[in-house]
Structure 1
Amino acid sequence: MSDCDADPQIMVWAHRYTQSPQRFETQMSQALPQLIYVQQVAEKYDVAGEFALLPWVESQYRSVPGHHNLPAGMWQIVSSTAKVIGLHANHGYDGRLDTAASTDSVMRMLRDYHNDLHDWRLVDYAFNRGEFGMQRLVRQHGLPPDEPAIPKMPVPRVTREHLTKLLAISCIVRDPERFNVELPTLSADQHLETVEVNHGMTLSTAAIHAGMDADSLKRLNPALLSNTVDANTPRHRLLMPHRNAEQLRTAMQMANDQDMTASLSGINNPPPPSLFADQPTITDESTQTFSNKTRHARTHTVRNGENLWQIAKNYSTSVSKIERLNHLHGKPLKLGQVLKLDSP
């Protein structure tokens, strides 16, 4: 779309956003993982790159809860729109707060708007004002010329300002030196991606196996209104950095493989500790005899690269039991940490 000098108000808003360079850089750094994720989805749907910055205009990429029928999520979606674009909600989940699901739905909607309106500026107007209203204006007045950059159509002032803000933040990102700011960078292993969760599990358990803090995982997945990832949740996916996503996928695959091996082995072989449920592990007779003779509760010192699933498997116990005995509550393991394996 238009450059920085296409309209004086674009520069007004650009300078307003960067009035405090340090604050702008901090805000941009906080938003960067979500921004990059949205940019990738925009490319998938062939949506103009400026729209990756639309959540900055709406919420600065914050997942705003929707109280009393107010707009919600970083896209600021109202309930009626959420239903139209396929974002579900129930007592434990609000799709408007789901970064992955809402971004996918919004980008698909923006692409469809452009197919109808043929002008990305009008797509922004439609996002703010409504598609049918814009279609009516186009039928009455025709498509606007390329100039001025902010089309002079009979729309509310707030709608024109919405496009102006989008062009302003796009201007800053294209030419940060002009505004005396420096854009942050993000390493590839911190880029956000989704992990398909094929079993119900708590967020705390997912965080442990992903090697991240439970509170951080919750902040990235605010659509989950409880501490549980339910298989009945629409698109039950968790959003997390790439390196943590790979770790969680590996843990789930190992758990699935062990469950399959146990089912094929017959009842005489003990099942492995479960990632997905708090199931006690049956030990064989020799293990029971050894345990009965042990005078002191067992402990384990965490080594580099270990996770709870591996530790539980080695000691024929369950992940949930280790969590409970050591009051982990979703906290990641630390190198050298001493874990209790048995009750006193």
Structure 2
Amino acid sequence: MRALALTAALTLAIASAAPPTAAATPLAAALEQTVAGLNGLPTDAAALPPPTTRNGHDILARFRDGLADARCDAGATDARWQQQFSRAPSRLADEDEDVLPLFGYVVDELRAANLPTEFALIPFVESGYRPAARNSSGPAGLWQFIPGTARNHDVPLENGYDGRLSAVDSTRAAVRYLKTLHGMFGGDWRLAIMAYNAGEYRVLQSMRRAGMNAQNAQPDKLPGLSSVTYAYVEKLHALACVLEQAQTRDEWMASLDRDVPILQAQTLPAGMALDEWARRQALQGNQLARLNPALGNGRSTKRALPVLAPRSLGGPVLAQDTTPPAQDDTPVVATVASADDTPAPNRAKRAGARSRHTHTVRDGDTAWNIAKRYGITVQALLMKNGLSARSVLRPGMVLSYED
């Protein structure tokens, strides 16, 4: 619209001007060239290339907004699980690991399937978010599928390719299965995750014995299931609490305030080596090898295979990509959306007095970047406005703060 307005203004100015002198002619020609260039600019956001990175806070915002159970009741969670998963925040913050971009990929796949993002915590429990993880008893990959389960859910296992170690194939299979369970158990993520662990038929039998159905079932009161199955729900809830508590620490939030590559499924042509494909796409071969351990000899088989790779400008056609657009209507969570780099202004403080101010929330605002902008702590901002780390900031809200 700005380009159109400027075009109209310049055209009117040129048309209404007196006949150009020799000196004015070059200026008029330059203006016409500028107008032509502006007319060539894309005016639709859809015409712009998709972003290749996003801020780490945006990943956490999408996770938080997708939770089915937004409240963290730390007192109701066994402290041993919180202790067991206490390193999850530091692993997300570690730039030398691929955990945060992988976490973002799984969150995107779950959000695209309209599933609760509690399920994005399963790979923390199963594999520590390591695509190459193997267990001596047989399970492998992010989601730790055994061979039989993998085949039942259409994960390919063939010479030179173990689809359980493919973040693409295994995540798609897990999302399909979780989608089935989530619908089967009335949208209760806790029942779905118990069925994911123990099998749907065991959970259905337990519900029948207890005279319960999907609408009134109490997951912690279902009889006859193993302690491992009951604990699975507690583990995911403990992980959610650990991440919530980490978001009150400014140092941890600052560690996520960085550009993170957006991962997506892409196609490795039949017979092509992964490192050769990486060179063609100007991507880092070492990172691609870490993300794609399913390729036994580092190359595709006789057929094209999906690989997980950072999105690149003008990159290859996606392999059934289901990644949602980066811009959406996700509500902005208090401490986990995009931070900006606006320096906190210097303010003169009156001796013995504190100045009170207000801030009207705009799109993209978070408690983190608001606090950073005004030189206060996140905790002080939240307490001043009666908010918690899980509060959602919506455009138009007026927040008070003191300097």
**Fold match by TM threshold 0.5:** yes
- Where does 1:122-133 land on structure 2 (aligned, <5 Å)? 122-133=191-202
* CA shift digits 1:222-279 (9 cap, x unpaired): 111112123425xx12211113xx45529xxxxxxxxxxxxxxxxxxxxxxxxxxxxx
For the residue of structure 2 that corresponds to 1:227, the secondary structure is: coil
Q: 1:210 aligns with which of 269, 278, 281?
A: 281
The equivalent residue for 2:205 is 136
For the residue of structure 2 that corresponds to 1:134, the secondary structure is: helix
1:179: Cα distance to partner? Answer: 7.2
CA–CA distance in structure 2, aligned partners of residues 247 and 80 of structure 1: 39
When residues 47 and 56 of structure 1 are mapped into structure 2, their CA distance, relative to the original with a 3 A threshold, is: same
> Larger relative contact order (C-alpha < 8 A, sep ≥ 6)?
2
Q: TM-score, normalised by structure 2?
A: 0.54
Q: TM-score, normalised by structure 1?
A: 0.63
1:175: Cα distance to partner? Answer: 4.1
The equivalent residue for 1:306 is none
CA–CA distance in structure 1, aligned partners of residues 198 and 97 of structure 2: 30
The equivalent residue for 2:119 is 51
Amino acid corresponding to residue 294 of structure 2 in structure 1: A
For the residue of structure 2 that corresponds to 1:194, the secondary structure is: strand
CA–CA distance in structure 2, aligned partners of residues 186 and 135 of structure 1: 44
1:99: Cα distance to partner? Answer: 0.3
When residues 209 and 127 of structure 1 are mapped into structure 2, their CA distance, relative to the original with a 3 A threshold, is: same
Which structure 2 segments of 5+ residues have no match? 1-67, 318-403
* CA shift digits 1:79-105 (9 cap, x unpaired): 111011100111100111110111111
For the residue of structure 2 that corresponds to 1:201, the secondary structure is: coil
The equivalent residue for 2:44 is none
When residues 168 and 146 of structure 1 are mapped into structure 2, their CA distance, relative to the original with a 3 A threshold, is: farther
1:215: Cα distance to partner? Answer: 2.3
For the residue of structure 2 that corresponds to 1:4, the secondary structure is: coil
1:182: Cα distance to partner? Answer: 2.0
For the residue of structure 2 that corresponds to 1:195, the secondary structure is: strand
Identity %: 27
- Where does 1:100-179 land on structure 2 (aligned, <5 Å)? 100-118=168-186, 119-141=188-210, 142-143=212-213, 150-177=220-247
CA–CA distance in structure 1, aligned partners of residues 263 and 124 of structure 2: 17
When residues 199 and 188 of structure 1 are mapped into structure 2, their CA distance, relative to the original with a 3 A threshold, is: farther
* CA shift digits 1:169-191 (9 cap, x unpaired): 11233342457872553766611
Contact 1:200 1:230 in 2 (8 A): yes
Compute the RMSD of aligned alpha carbons. 3.1
The equivalent residue for 2:357 is none
Q: 2:296 aligns with which of 221, 225, 230?
A: 225
* CA shift digits 1:41-71 (9 cap, x unpaired): 0011111111111111111111245466610
CA–CA distance in structure 1, aligned partners of residues 80 and 216 of structure 2: 21
Contact 1:150 1:164 in 2 (8 A): no
1:182 paired with 2:252, answer yes
- Where does 1:4-153 land on structure 2 (aligned, <5 Å)? 4-5=72-73, 8-18=76-86, 22=90, 25-26=93-94, 30-66=98-134, 70-118=138-186, 119-141=188-210, 142-143=212-213, 150-153=220-223
CA–CA distance in structure 1, aligned partners of residues 78 and 251 of structure 2: 17
For the residue of structure 2 that corresponds to 1:237, the secondary structure is: strand
Contact 1:17 1:169 in 2 (8 A): yes
More helix by share: 1
1:249 paired with 2:320, answer no
Contact 1:42 1:107 in 2 (8 A): yes
CA–CA distance in structure 1, aligned partners of residues 250 and 208 of structure 2: 43
The equivalent residue for 1:323 is none
Q: How many residues align?
A: 246
For the residue of structure 2 that corresponds to 1:240, the secondary structure is: strand
Amino acid corresponding to residue 165 of structure 2 in structure 1: L
Contact 2:131 2:293 in 1 (8 A): yes
1:39: Cα distance to partner? Answer: 0.4
Which structure 1 segments of 5+ residues have no match? 251-344
